[in-house]
Amino acid sequence: MKETVEETDGPEKTFAAAFELARRNPEASFFYLHGDLGAGKTLFTKGIASFHGIDPGRVTSPTFALVQRHSGGKRVLYHVDLYRIGDDRELSELGIEEMEEEGAVLVVEWAEKLGRRLREDGIDVALEAVSENRRRITIRCP
Ligand code: ADP
Ligand code: MG
């Protein structure tokens, strides 16, 4: 397990950090994002998507859909936001296993809600607001 900590002083820096993480791990499929509302999880997802050839403008905070599928890039990317997930039954209905089997990239916001479904080979990203425009990003790679 390798842990790195960095701080960004603006949204574009967080986007760049996410792009760089994906660039360094082009084969990685599971990105588990943690952090409060407004920490930058969706922005981080945009950076990962961008590396995989997906227009980051299409990556948005889902209002009702918990899963957004982005095709048309180098790899299919599923953007999963578990903020509104209820019980384990709801979670199992999302079809996470099927997404994993598809060989797609999975980026999961509020990933701690996956519980036992968290994979050991996932990359963990914790985002923390230090101030209005500053975020501390802790990345754990298996
Ligand atoms: P989340 O998905 O975690 O709720 P978002 O990515 O939707 O968060 O929003 C993060 C917000 O914080 C955006 O409005 C962004 O412009 C702002 N922001 C300010 N500074 C930063 C920073 N250094 N890194 C990431 N986001 C930042
Ligand atoms: Mg979000």
Q: What pLDDT is stored for residue 49 in this prediction?
A: 98
Q: What is the pLDDT of residues 34-89, one digit of tens each?
A: 999 999 999 999 999 999 999 999 999 876 789 999 999 999 999 999 999 988 89
**Spatial distance between the Cα atoms of 83 and 22, rounded to a whole number of angstroms:** 23
Residue 39's φ and ψ, nearest 5 degrees, are -70, -30
Q: What pLDDT is stored for residue 86 in this prediction?
A: 87
**Spatial distance between the Cα atoms of 87 and 26, rounded to a whole number of angstroms:** 32
| b/e sequence 94-132, b meaning 16+ C-beta within 10 Å | bebeebeeeebbbbbbbbebbeeeeeeebbbbbbbeeee
Residue 2 pLDDT more than 80? yes
Q: What pLDDT is stored for residue 102 in this prediction?
A: 94
Residue 10 pLDDT more than 80? yes
Percent pLDDT > 70 in the chain is 99
From atom 15 of ligand 1, which residue's Cα is the shortest distance away?
A: 11
Q: What pLDDT is stored for residue 63 in this prediction?
A: 66
From atom 24 of ligand 1, which residue's Cα is the shortest distance away?
A: 11
User: Which is more confident, 21 or 72?
Assistant: 21
**Spatial distance between the Cα atoms of 66 and 111, rounded to a whole number of angstroms:** 12
Say what the alpha-carbon torsion angle 5, 27, 29, 138 is, to the nearest 10 degrees: 0
Q: Which atom of ligand 1 is nearest to the CA of 127?
A: 3
Mean pLDDT, rounded, of the chain: 95
- Give start and end residues of each alpha helix (H) in the chain: 11-24, 41-51, 88-93, 96-101
Ligand 1: which of 14, 20, 66 to mutate, judged by most atoms within 8 Å of the beta carbon?
A: 14
Q: Residues near ligand 1 with C-beta < 6 Å?
A: 8, 10-11, 13-14, 35, 37-43, 61, 109, 133-135
- 5 forms beta bridges with 138
Which residue, 139, 118, 132, 116, is CA-closest to 47? 139
Q: What pLDDT is stored for residue 81 in this prediction?
A: 96
Contacts of 69 (CB under 8 A, 6+ apart): 76, 77, 78, 79
